[in-house]
Amino acid sequence: MWLPVAIFLAVCIAIILVRLFLGPTPPDRLVGLDTLNTLVIVSMVILGASFNEVIYIDVAIVYALLSFVTTLFIAKYIEKGGF
């Protein structure tokens, strides 16, 4: 039951990676990375629901807490100029 959802999320991740490859400027790729973060967190929750394990949801929570740090650092670097 959960497998079509997970495969659809993997296809969405592939589409976002195409934007990550082709993005003309670094902010485009940064927004693509942030969308990729969200898609990976959603697929972790979906897979945790399908595996019937509670500990798997904790991985998604830890990832959601930590994944904004990279985006914040790169955004601060782009804000400082140099492009």
Partner 1 sequence: MIEPGVLHIIVPILIVACALLVAILKDLIVAVISLAAMSLLLALEFYLLQAPDVAIAEAGVGAAISAAIYILAIRATKRR
Contact residues for partner 1, defined by CB under 8 A: 1-3, 6-7, 10-11, 13-14, 17, 20-21, 26, 29-30, 33, 36-37, 40, 43-44, 47, 50-53, 55-56, 58-59, 62-63, 66-67, 69-70, 73-74, 77-78, 80, 82
Rounded Cα distance between 37 and 78, Å, is 19
Q: Tell me how far, at minimum, the Cβ of 46 lies from partner 1, in Å.
A: 10
Give least dist CB 48 to partner 1, A: 8
Question: How many other CB atoms are found less than 10 A from the CB of residue 44?
Answer: 19
